[in-house]
Amino acid sequence: MNGDRRSAENCKVFIPDPWTFSEVPFPSNYAGLIELPRYLAKDYLDVSKIKCAPEGLRLLTTLLSRMDRRDFVAGLTVFSEGLRLFGAKNIVFIVTFEYLSAMAFLRTIKETQPDKAILFLNMFAHAQHHYWNAPDGEGCLELSYAAKTLDRISKKILERASGLKCGDRISLTNGLSQICTRDEPPWILHRPKSPIKFLSDIGLTPEKVEPLMTHDAHVSF
């Protein structure tokens, strides 16, 4: 999360967090995994379908080239379950993307046999941020959908660990200590749909604008 590869020569594969600004995947044939998630993460209020279409195709092609066909079919099952439950909600695409990414991760470490491998998944945090409405989680199907998919991923990792150089020891770390804050006074954030257009409208000409996760952005002049 928010990491960079720097000059780590023994890091065989590195896929950056979509929220990082300048990091690129290594090796370069993994680049198709990051551009669409990075664009959607930063421009989610001003999305261009024309830009999404080619990057979506590139993402799908890269994923297909990096995983077994049976794992891709299992990902389609995750997707169809989500569509049946929620329609075309963001949670369905995020959970499916992370499931497929995890399957590509397993294929990659099988091929490269690293001493250590780290997989960071964020789908449950997304479900918490957007859909957690009751203190005990009761009745939140989105949370259940994300948790069920995390279970599926964990099962796949455990099933295939014996064939991996780094599979003799597996550490599962979670951030599930959060609490539901729906009963607290709301914290209202205002974010322009397009930070770049907003700055242009008030007469500024930045060199670069990098939107962040909530209402703010880094602006370079």
Backbone angles phi, psi at 209, to 5 degrees: -125, 125
- Residue 158 within any structural domain of the chain: no
| One-letter amino acid of 180 | C
Inter-residue contact 175 to 122 (CB < 8 Å): no
DSSP structural state of residue 220: E
- Residue 77 within any structural domain of the chain: no
Least trusted range by pLDDT, from 146-160, 170-184, 188-202: 170-184
Q: Is the dihedral of CA 117, 123, 126, 127 positive or negative?
A: negative
Q: pLDDT tens digits for 45-96?
A: 888 889 899 999 999 899 889 889 899 999 999 999 999 999 999 899 999 9
> CA-CA distances (angstroms) from residue 219 to 19, 21, 40, 170, 212?
15, 12, 19, 40, 11
- Residue 211 within any structural domain of the chain: yes
- Residue 221 within any structural domain of the chain: yes
- Residue 49 within any structural domain of the chain: no
The Cβ of residue 158 has, within 10 Å, a number of other Cβ atoms equal to 12
Overall domain count for the chain: 1
Q: Please check the confidence at residue 17 and state whether its pLDDT lies above 90.
A: no
- Residue 192 within any structural domain of the chain: yes
Instruction: Record the tokens describing residue 214, joined without a space.
Output: 């909530």
Long-range contacts of 153-162 (CB under 8 A, 24+ apart): 153/98, 153/99, 153/102, 153/121, 156/71, 156/102, 156/103, 156/106, 157/102, 157/106, 157/119, 160/106, 160/110
- Residue 135 within any structural domain of the chain: no
Distance of alpha carbon 185 from alpha carbon 203, whole angstroms: 35
Which of 96, 153, 105 shows the shortest CA–CA distance to 126? 96
- Residue 67 within any structural domain of the chain: no
Q: What is the pLDDT of residue 174?
A: 82
Whether the pTM exceeds 0.85: the reply is yes
Q: pLDDT tens digits for 176-190?
A: 677 888 888 888 888
- Domain around 217: 185-221
